[in-house]
Structure 1
Amino acid sequence: MASVEAVLAGKYPAKAHVKRVVEYIRKKDPGATGVLYLEAQKTKMIEDNDEAAPFRQRRFFYYLTGCDLPDAYYTYDIESDKSTLFIPPIDADSVIWSGLPLSEEEALAQYDIDQVRTTNEVNSTLASLSPKGKVWAIANQISDHITFLPFEQNDFTLLKEAIEECRVCKDEYEVALTKKANAISNIAHTAVLKAVKHAKNERELEALFIERCIANGAREQAYHSIVASGTAAATLHYMKNYEPMEGKLNLLLDAGGEYKCYASDITRTFPINGKFSKESRSVYDIVLKMNHVCMNMLKQDVLWDDVHLQAHKIAIDGLLKLGILKGDTEDILKSRTSVAFFPHGLGHYLGMDTHDTGGHPNYEDTDTMFRYLRVRGKLPTGSIITVEPGIYFCRFIIDPYLRDPVHAAYINKDVLDRYWDVGGVRIEDNVLITKDGFENLTTVVKDVDEIEKIICSS
């Protein structure tokens, strides 16, 4: 197998992606012909300001082009199998401030595209294409000056669906991008581990993580980092990242760099002083077992609901041994009392978005154990999914269970009271599904002895 760097030395496989998308469209609309049309994200100005807002490329556009330029356009003529990228022409006033933009020749060499033109040629190019087929575009992502009048029909729904579904199964290049994002994030996570014992505030560690990502080639973050110390770790998407850390037990770090539009999403939980407390270690061991057992269930066509259910069974067994839960295992499972301690889904697809497309969640599910699963159904080969079990001690979530006589019968409050300061423990890896198993793309340390050794020796 080629190395990550060898794979990434080639072009992003845009033409292979567009052919996959057309194949999907033709399953829904046999004999489909015409033109696929997409627009890049526009340059947007900050309100009441002369500065541009941070740019984030539209993922639909990137999937078919590999192009990260703003204000670009794309067409693909199905009949001729010809793709065209339209890039902004040179603006002399802009060159004064920003330098020369990418030329048409440079763009053709850089991207997996058949031809490159400038954006003032989009309408004339559309007019020259065969009008017999449809224009396949995405609703609300079409500029006002663009016209599809020469074409007999328009479809503004199926292209979006096709790209979302095709994005689920990654090719070799996309896997390499995800591995690269994970490798950079590993460097950043390790740096935080080495610094945590001496840090005074959460923001110091967030700054360190971002600095290490940028220094190693991941300028963007896949999402806003979660740097949660103490009881803040019980907040699933904690946003503050500025609280002092003195006197707190653990740090939950959920952070991942993004490399060329592909995300990593990694969580680790570790002791701030370098040594897990008895309570923290016991909870950590349960979550680590959930992580290992569930990951080892993974392979092509495994039902994600079943893997999530297994995570709850392990959580229940572990919390029973600690005395936090009491009663019969099956009764606890049926009552869904474990949802008080593990309220979220086991994971989600990962790709160009942290919570990637194609998962078909059902947030209207009346079963609280499955309501927040971001992925439902069987996992296909080539999909990348996060495995992120957790156990949390959040008063806002648990208190209603304690007031409910059905759930309260299974919770030992006296024992529970010893665990509030643990906050929460989550362990998250990024996993590639293969025909017969899986490949864990995440290399960040999670063994207790190794974690404590790194922190204490720093």
Structure 2
Amino acid sequence: MQAEYRQRREQLMAKIGTGTAIFRSAPTAVMHNDVEYVYRQESDFFYLTGFNEPEAVLVLAPHHEEHKFVLFVQAKDPEKEIWTGYRAGVEGAKELYGADEAYPIAELEEKLPKYIQDSDRIYYRLGRDRGFNETILKHWQRFMGMYPKRGKGPIAIEDPSPILHAMRQIKSPAELDLMRKAAVISIEAHNYAREIAKPGRYEYEIQAEMEHIFRLRGGNGPAYPSIVASGENACVLHYIENNRQLQENDLLLIDAGCAYGYYNADITRTFPVSGKFTSEQRAIYEIVLEAQSQAMEQVKPGNPWNQMHDAAVRVIVEGLLELGLLDGDIEEIIKEEKYKPFYMHRTGHWLGLDVHDAGVYQHGEQAQTLQPGQVLTVEPGIYINPNIKPAEGQPEVESRWRGIGIRIEDDVLVTSNGQEILTAGVPK
């Protein structure tokens, strides 16, 4: 993978010209008192380096004669490493990660200026780390003060995200290999969950068995907190308590995916715990399934991003009108979004290093155009919350419909001639 990281850095440096790009590692996160969560590197930082340690700074200076790729890292410290794990250190940053130069993080204030002073701008994303923001601003202001005498130096700070995230949207073959592996593991876990879900079991039992498979097959664990939502819990979009006992006639909505090599899968299936839908459950399920099918047909290169959502919304509105859960003119309902008490989210999102991955969906009023190499989810749903309040002028919802929540989600790769459904191995 080092060759791939190098290629990404070179691509970014070619785009920033005589600028200097600076990236800060993710902070450690405290679970409670002095116990920390397992460390997970900031995605942009990892995308460019593969380096997975905290307290680090990446500098890309394409204009520098010798040091175009610089890492500031934690120095080797045998005593601390006994407690918290081995560090690459300065030498490891060069030998293992290919840095042209590396320094202890303690020398950042002293060494950073020489990689900024001859650039025309600093590429840095303000806002995430207040302390480090101040460091960057201090150096920038210093060089701005010197600009009248020097006639050169960084005259602006620019967020690198629009450039870098456009790169991240198009997945390389190596990235797709990791995403397919994450999908394969997730497929196995979902199919096993379907086998073992029975009335009397608890949501957390299903979660535990799935996450056991994630780790057993070499994954990093769950890509996000697993949603195992039975009965009315399926109407809560991000339900994660997972503590209810499954009952006869329940639907079980499982939204869970494995992370593998930092890349993520994201699958949702909804099925009857007892093996058979009620008539109301089946009616809603068939609408969602058709909505996903119609949305999926819009996933092809050249199509606007929002086309799949529009297709799903139309199917959902048509279906709810037929069942008497909505009333009126279909065009008016769509335009005024009177369907939103039943379907309140978008039909998908980008997928990759982040579950809700980097990349824009709109360019002003213009929707992003789908391109080969992008991976996205397609996930329509209908949620009839027990306490649902219909939109103004819409009919009241009968009790027989309340408490039904259904979502179906797959991960789809846009290819040069259409699409590849990465998660097709889980039945619908």
Aligned partners of 2:173 and 2:283: how far apart in 1? 39
Q: For the structure 1 residues 417 and 33, does the alpha-carbon distance in structure 2 shift closer, same or farther, using more than 3 Å as the test?
A: same
Aligned partners of 2:266 and 2:245: how far apart in 1? 25
Residue type of the partner of 2:122? V
Gaps of at least 5 residues in structure 2 are 144-152
Query: In 2, are the aligned partners of 1:15 and 1:113 still within 8 Å (CA)?
Result: no
**How far has the Cα of 1:389 moved from its partner?**
0.7
**How far has the Cα of 1:145 moved from its partner?**
7.0
Partner residue, 1:284: 285
Aligned partners of 1:395 and 1:198: how far apart in 2? 21
Aligned partners of 1:394 and 1:325: how far apart in 2? 15
Select the residue among 53, 73, 80 that pairs with 1:94: 80
Aligned partners of 1:280 and 1:399: how far apart in 2? 20
1:136 aligns with 2:118: no
| CA deviation map 1:405-457 (0-9, x unaligned) | 2x33xx7x4xx433224x2110001111223311111134233xxxxxxxxxx
| CA deviation map 1:67-87 (0-9, x unaligned) | 112222222221258312333
Aligned partners of 2:328 and 2:30: how far apart in 1? 59
SS of the residue aligned with 1:399? coil
1:59 aligns with 2:51: no
Aligned partners of 1:285 and 1:46: how far apart in 2? 42
**How far has the Cα of 1:45 moved from its partner?**
4.9
Partner residue, 1:160: 161
Partner residue, 1:205: 206
1:33 aligns with 2:26: no
**How far has the Cα of 1:53 moved from its partner?**
4.0
Aligned partners of 2:135 and 2:79: how far apart in 1? 23
Aligned partners of 1:316 and 1:400: how far apart in 2? 13
| CA deviation map 1:253-280 (0-9, x unaligned) | 0111212222221111011112222222
Partner residue, 2:194: 193
Partner residue, 2:414: 433
Partner residue, 1:258: 259
Per mean C-alpha deviation after superposition, the further-off stretch among 163-172 and 270-279 is 163-172
Select the residue among 384, 389, 396 that pairs with 1:399: 389
Q: For the structure 1 residues 376 and 211, does the alpha-carbon distance in structure 2 shift closer, same or farther, using more than 3 Å as the test?
A: farther
| CA deviation map 1:294-352 (0-9, x unaligned) | 11221123112222111111112323444434555445434433323222111111122
Aligned residues: 411
Q: For the structure 1 residues 306 and 121, does the alpha-carbon distance in structure 2 shift closer, same or farther, using more than 3 Å as the test?
A: same
Query: In 2, are the aligned partners of 1:249 and 1:277 still within 8 Å (CA)?
Result: no
TM-score (norm: length of structure 1) = 0.80
Gaps of at least 5 residues in structure 1 are 1-9, 26-31, 366-374, 448-458
Aligned partners of 1:252 and 1:112: how far apart in 2? 45
Query: In 2, are the aligned partners of 1:12 and 1:111 still within 8 Å (CA)?
Result: no
SS of the residue aligned with 1:269? strand
Query: In 1, are the aligned partners of 2:270 and 2:406 still within 8 Å (CA)?
Result: yes
Aligned partners of 1:417 and 1:17: how far apart in 2? 55
Partner residue, 2:405: 424
Aligned partners of 1:322 and 1:400: how far apart in 2? 14
SS of the residue aligned with 1:417? coil
Per mean C-alpha deviation after superposition, the further-off stretch among 93-102 and 311-320 is 93-102
SS of the residue aligned with 1:13? helix
Aligned partners of 1:292 and 1:44: how far apart in 2? 40
Aligned partners of 2:188 and 2:408: how far apart in 1? 17
Q: For the structure 1 residues 118 and 169, does the alpha-carbon distance in structure 2 shift closer, same or farther, using more than 3 Å as the test?
A: same
| CA deviation map 1:221-244 (0-9, x unaligned) | 221111110121111111321112
Partner residue, 1:68: 52
Query: In 2, are the aligned partners of 1:297 and 1:307 still within 8 Å (CA)?
Result: yes
Partner residue, 2:148: none
Query: In 2, are the aligned partners of 1:36 and 1:78 still within 8 Å (CA)?
Result: no
Residue type of the partner of 1:387? V
SS of the residue aligned with 2:26? coil
| CA deviation map 1:120-172 (0-9, x unaligned) | 45455435547221333232542777874785226443223332333222222
| CA deviation map 1:38-74 (0-9, x unaligned) | 2212345556x33334423112211221211222222
**Structure 1: which 4+ aligned runs deviate by more than 6 Å?**
143-147
State percent identity of aligned pairs. Answer: 32
Residue type of the partner of 2:410? D
SS of the residue aligned with 2:112? helix
Aligned partners of 1:326 and 1:301: how far apart in 2? 35
**How far has the Cα of 1:290 moved from its partner?**
1.4
Alignment of 1:59-458 (within 5 A): 59-79=43-63, 80=65, 82-98=68-84, 100-102=86-88, 107-108=93-94, 110-111=96-97, 113-123=99-109, 125-129=111-115, 131-133=117-119, 134-140=121-127, 141=129, 142=132, 148=139, 152-153=153-154, 155-197=156-198, 200-360=201-361, 376-396=367-387, 398-401=388-391, 404-405=392-393, 407-408=394-395, 413=397, 416-421=398-403, 423-447=404-428
Aligned partners of 1:71 and 1:83: how far apart in 2? 17
Partner residue, 1:371: none
Q: For the structure 1 residues 394 and 361, does the alpha-carbon distance in structure 2 shift closer, same or farther, using more than 3 Å as the test?
A: farther
SS of the residue aligned with 1:228? strand
TM-score (norm: length of structure 2) = 0.85
Q: For the structure 1 residues 165 and 334, does the alpha-carbon distance in structure 2 shift closer, same or farther, using more than 3 Å as the test?
A: same
Residue type of the partner of 2:72? F
Query: In 2, are the aligned partners of 1:39 and 1:73 still within 8 Å (CA)?
Result: yes
Partner residue, 2:147: none
Q: For the structure 1 residues 12 and 267, does the alpha-carbon distance in structure 2 shift closer, same or farther, using more than 3 Å as the test?
A: farther
Query: In 1, are the aligned partners of 2:126 and 2:133 still within 8 Å (CA)?
Result: no
Q: For the structure 1 residues 208 and 109, does the alpha-carbon distance in structure 2 shift closer, same or farther, using more than 3 Å as the test?
A: farther
Partner residue, 1:16: 7
Residue type of the partner of 2:20? V
Residue type of the partner of 2:242? N
Query: In 2, are the aligned partners of 1:12 and 1:66 still within 8 Å (CA)?
Result: no
SS of the residue aligned with 2:160? helix
